Amino acid sequence: MKCQGALPVTIQQRELGLSSKNVTNQYRSNLDEKFDALIKKRIIDINAMVDLLKTTKLYHILPDELILLIAEFANPERDYDLYLVFQRKKFWHRDTYYLFTGTKPRLDRALLKLKEEGRVKEDNDLMDVPFDNPLRWTLFIFDIKSQYDKCLENIARNGQWASASGIVKICDISHL
């Protein structure tokens, strides 16, 4: 999936294995479109599974509700997660990365909790979180977990370029 409004990739981002299709300027509508596309894909996959089950003998034995439940179980919501890396560049001599894997409602809850709990206080007295100030943040979007994992591996391995002090802070906000 290609990001709309993709930004040019910096040398450091290229070192992390990122291309312009993974980097966006954080306009919330682009991210919402990606979440909506994943929801639609899951619905299409569930309907395809239901259609497939209708061609079997199970359809005549089981009630429709159970057929739908089987199709939903075969297409769990976690298989349609979006993988996000929010980067705040060189603030207080460190790069900060917030990692997120999940759905749109979970992201909204995580960002709200992040702000309420003041977890960003140690980095920034202004307490900005992603989307508060788009100029300070870069968003990396991944559809495929292996690409996301490679990016995280590269962040950990190549973190020394992040700032003069070489400090990189990584925080997973997926389960807030």
- What pLDDT sits at residue 31? 82
Question: Two tokens at 164?
Answer: 């003069």
Per-residue exposure over 85-102, b if at least 16 CB sit within 10 Å of its own CB, e if not: bbbbeebeebbbbbbbbb
Q: Given pLDDT bands bounded at 50, 70 and 90, which one contains residue 40? A: very high
pLDDT of residue 143: 83
Mean pLDDT of the chain: 75
Residues 136-154 have a mean pLDDT of 84
Mean of pLDDT values over 145-150: 88
Cβ count within 10 A of residue 16: 23
* Mean pLDDT of all residues in 63-69: 89
CA pair distance 171, 130, nearest whole angstrom: 13
Q: Which residue has the tokens 């997660």?
A: 81
Q: Is-contact 170 94, C-beta < 8 A?
A: no
pLDDT above 90: percentage of residues in the chain: 14
- Reported as a pLDDT band with limits 50, 70 and 90, residue 127 is low
Q: If you average pLDDT over residues 29-34, what whole number do you get?
A: 79
Give the residue, 102 or 124, on which the prediction is more confident: 102
CB atoms inside a 10 Å sphere around CB 136: 17
Burial group, residue 129, by CB count within 10 angstroms (0-12, 13-18, 19+): buried
Structural contact between residues 63 and 45, judged by C-beta atoms closer than 8 angstroms: no
Q: Tell which phi-psi region holds residue 67, choosing left (phi > 0), alpha (psi between -120 and 50) or beta.
A: alpha
- pLDDT band at residue 21 using 50, 70 and 90 as cut-offs: low
In this model, does residue 136 exceed pLDDT 70? yes
